[in-house]
Chains A and B, each alone.
Chain A
Amino acid sequence: MKLTVNGTSHEINVEPEMPLLWVLRDELDLPGTKFGCGIAQCGAYTVHVDGTAVRSCVTPVGSVSGVVTTIEGLGTPATLHAVQAAWVERQVAQCGYCQSGQIMSAAALLKTNPAPTDADIDEAMSGNLCRCGAYPRIRAAVHDAAKRIRGA
């Protein structure tokens, strides 16, 4: 089957029920998207399908019809996405393992809501766990990113 990820089309030969996460990580060698729970409880696996946040650990690859964007496709160290730039500015990451998913959730939120309130942020980000407790800085960085995008 065909799968478009970060602008590149791939021919993949896997079971349609294999979760998108494991196609990305093991078949396409895109490790930025993380495995955390396997049951859509932690958010580390968050990617975009046609711009919407999707839980790749419970999404069978056979059900994916749109284009996939992972953290690697959002921005790069040389060309940071506004959300990533805000994250760096606020020094959000500690262990950093959950941050790919946090950033993908935040980027999806800001596409539909350019000026979120704290409550909007909490609702949109409630599926993304962080055991280091970076939540206060995540909230602040989402506001910063929203400003960056509105100002751009």
Chain B
Amino acid sequence: MGKLATIARRAFLIGSAAVAGGVAFGVYKVKQVAPNPLLDDLPQGATALTPHVRIDGQGVTLITPRAEMGQGNHTTLAALVAEELDVAWDSIRVEHGPPGAAYYNRALVQHNVPFADLDHGNAAEAMRGALGVMAKLMPMQITGGSSSIEDLFDRMRIAGAAARFALVAAAAQKLGLPAAQLKTENGSVLAPDGRRLTYLELAPAAAAIDLPASPPLKPREQWRYLGKSMPRVDMVAKCTGTATFGIDVRLPDMVFATVRMNPAIGARLVSFDATAAKAMRGVLNVVDLRGGIAVIADNTWRAFQAAQAVQCNWAGPGYPASTTAMMDSIVASMSEENRDSRLRDDGSVDKSLAEGTRLEAEYRVPFLAHATMEPMNAVAFLHDGQLDIWAGVQNPTAARDQAAKIAGLDATKVRLHTTLMGGGFGRRLESDYVVQAVKLAVAMAGKPVKMTWRREEDMTLDFYRPAAVAHFRGTTAAKQVLALDVQVASPSVAESNLGRLGLPALGPDKLIIEGAFDQPYAIANYRATAYRTPAGRPVSYARSVGNSYNGFFIESFIDELAAQAGADPMNMRLALLSHEPSRKVLSAVAAKSGWGQQLAAGRGRGVAFHMCRGVPVAQVIEITTSKQGVKIDKVFVAVDVGTALDPRNIEAQQQSGVIFGLSAALYGEITFAKGAANQTNFDSYQVLRIQQAPQIVVEVLESGGTIRGVGETGVPPAAPALANAIFNATGKRIRELPLSKHIDFV
């Protein structure tokens, strides 16, 4: 326990939760194999050889433990199993698995060690190892942090190979032949004499065979699905309106509900009057949710109308309630007592800040909404002593456990069916909407309840990406950067989220400063300090988390230093990058974009580099300026994920990241009055539309290192590349997002 306590003290927030979980379970459990969650609910005649392979009369179903929210992971995770299992691509079905300990996420927890992703020193690796063990014990089944592929690259191939081993062994028994003489092909085992046994007929016998823990895996040269652009398993359904998102789940006798909560999240509902609402057509019930109300009706629109007719008297929040007060508290937290971490302190920063030419700057970013296209919703059905839930969730184990608590049931009596989701971006790591639906299911026991938020609730009851402020000091001499000192203050999303999960949050929050301390720039005097703003309005994870603002901060200021030093911003970055794959992505994007070639008058280009989740990404953005404003013409992207499992999907994710990042760069901003957001829908919270979407050219590189995830990595460089392009074209340096507060866009 001594060692664990030491780790707990040193571990960062998420690590501390993992360690606490590990201590509670006892280290002896580390070596135990988690039970196969599919066996709890296996239909008659079906076989589940591993937690990732179910075989029944319909064929082979591959079970993915991570949620599909657009990132394409169901396709790539299925390809990992299918590759080793040897099944035909057009024959497979893919399902999200139930919540289960076997589906723990090791990579996500390991990402939260207080070291840079490129730090492979003894201390960093030792803590990754310890936290990897703890992850297994927690267990957090989370989809997020670009972790799915890194986490499951080996595990899901092993699942496929182990299942294939058992199927071949079963065939060997039936045929009376040694397994070594048998081959597999597209879902069948073949004997040398031409006899063929399908996996379907072999599955029951295979279920009795002990699985090997580490079966041999195919070398890359033999891959037929991996490394190729596979047709997505969800594509046809999504193009024909037949894909079922949470909001589309329909059960017999279903009723429809919505909520209206205090828009100052967490503050009370003092009183309400539902007399008028109860008299409206189709209204079945009005439920006091504490902090808000819900209306249950026979149609979602009628529930919407009635909820608006309830007179609600809201209390104010106990935290700073206006944008100004919130920003002031962030700025005020840049003091010793709120110092959270100093994860980089290379050289002699104070000394070198006194030399050369000095530059100081303050940068700011606002709160941001996730604004998934599918508003929050959940279906809950309490019946026969059990609770069924259908919802799009990124943290199913947490959602299930909170639902069980609300319903007063043991977790084994809760079945959570994770649906496809119309965007996640971190929003669906929270379980608030699931908890609400469960409360309504309890109130309407025996009837399935579908609870749907209006867009107005979705936007105003969001746990936002927090605002952040950075103070920079830097010096240059002889076209070189002498010193870089970055201080970042922001509320802690990990503290806020873990608090809602009832988990401890000990130690500093690396996420505040990620993307600012860990960049592979060989600046001799480089210091990064994080300050944790005391908790205010609840906040949470959003796509690329701290990188989403630190990328803008660092890459804008590096550009400022280059300008001050009279150096080319591309060449200066290339000279500073100490990591070869990073240099390669930057060189690739320089070549592709024709960096250095003269642009026509009124045009400009900017570059940004960022390392996020161990993935180096470089972007060059070209713009045209006119009286009407800035037009974004073209974006060049180069990215290295180690090994590219599905190049076309990686391209899609980079384009997605760029446009997501540009939406925030141009327009994204939530402001507050009395604790409530002023932006309530897409008219006041603008995102990029097609006429503003630039051409995006993506080059995928493979350094062959650790395989990494790609869902977030395109986001951080977009805003600084654009701001740097604006500086290049106009000489105007914008140090605050959204940029549209300072310049017009076409």
Whether A41 contacts B301 in the complex (CB less than 8 A), given A36-B373, A132-B656, comes out as no
- Is A39 within 8 A of B373, CB to CB? no
> CA A132 – CA B657 in complex, angstroms?
8
Q: Which residue of B lies closest to A138 (CB)?
A: B690
A121 near B: Cβ within 8 Å?
yes
Interface string of B412-448 (1 = CB under 8 A from A): 0000000011111100000000000000000000000
- Is B70 within 8 A of A94, CB to CB? yes
Q: Which residue of A lies closest to B684 (CB)?
A: A41
Interface 9-mer from B28-36, B240-248, B465-473, B733-741: B240-248
Interface string of B652-676 (1 = CB under 8 A from A): 1001111110010000000000000
B588 near A: Cβ within 8 Å?
no
- Given B234, B660, B689, which contacts A129 in the complex, CB threshold below 8 Å? B689
Residues of A within 8 Å of B687, CB to CB, are: 129, 131
Which chain A residues (64-81) contact chain B, with CB distance < 8 Å? 70-72, 74-77, 80
- Given B232, B281, B688, which contacts A133 in the complex, CB threshold below 8 Å? B688
Residues of A within 8 Å of B247, CB to CB, are: 31, 34-35
Residues of A within 8 Å of B652, CB to CB, are: 91, 94, 134, 137
> CA A86 – CA B305 in complex, angstroms?
39
- Is A22 within 8 A of B248, CB to CB? no
Which chain A residues (82-104) contact chain B, with CB distance < 8 Å? 84, 87-88, 91-100, 103
- Is A93 within 8 A of B232, CB to CB? yes
- Is B422 within 8 A of A77, CB to CB? no
Whether A99 contacts B236 in the complex (CB less than 8 A), given A22-B300, A94-B70, comes out as no
Interface 9-mer from B81-89, B160-168, B597-605, B691-699: B691-699
- Is A71 within 8 A of B70, CB to CB? no
Distance of B375 from chain A, by nearest CB (Å):
7
Whether A18 contacts B693 in the complex (CB less than 8 A), given A96-B420, A134-B652, comes out as no
- Is A96 within 8 A of B452, CB to CB? no
Distance of A61 from chain B, by nearest CB (Å):
10
Interface string of A91-119 (1 = CB under 8 A from B): 11111111110010000000000000000
Interface size on A, residues (CB 8 A): 61
Number of residue pairs spanning A and B whose beta carbons lie under 8 angstroms apart: 186
- Is B373 within 8 A of A95, CB to CB? yes
- Is A18 within 8 A of B71, CB to CB? no
Quick one: which of B243, B687, B690 has the most chain A CB within 10 A? B690
Whether A71 contacts B232 in the complex (CB less than 8 A), given A97-B422, A129-B689, comes out as no
B1 near A: Cβ within 8 Å?
no
A5 near B: Cβ within 8 Å?
no
> CA A40 – CA B371 in complex, angstroms?
16
- Is B239 within 8 A of A27, CB to CB? no
> CA A97 – CA B558 in complex, angstroms?
38
Residues of A within 8 Å of B732, CB to CB, are: none
B253 near A: Cβ within 8 Å?
no
> CA A41 – CA B681 in complex, angstroms?
8
- Is A77 within 8 A of B240, CB to CB? yes
Residues of A within 8 Å of B658, CB to CB, are: 133
B682 near A: Cβ within 8 Å?
yes
> CA A93 – CA B425 in complex, angstroms?
16
Distance of B410 from chain A, by nearest CB (Å):
32
- Given A18, A22, A31, which contacts B241 in the complex, CB threshold below 8 Å? A31
B372 near A: Cβ within 8 Å?
yes
Whether A42 contacts B454 in the complex (CB less than 8 A), given A95-B422, A97-B422, A134-B652, comes out as no
- A selection of 15 A-B contacts at a CB cut-off of 8 Å is A15-B281, A26-B299, A38-B681, A39-B683, A41-B682, A84-B239, A84-B240, A87-B239, A88-B239, A94-B652, A97-B423, A126-B689, A128-B690, A131-B660, A139-B690
Q: A35-B375, A133-B693 are in contact. List 14 more A-B contacts (CB 8 A).
A: A26-B256, A27-B299, A36-B373, A38-B454, A77-B240, A88-B239, A95-B420, A126-B690, A129-B687, A130-B690, A131-B371, A134-B656, A135-B659, A139-B690
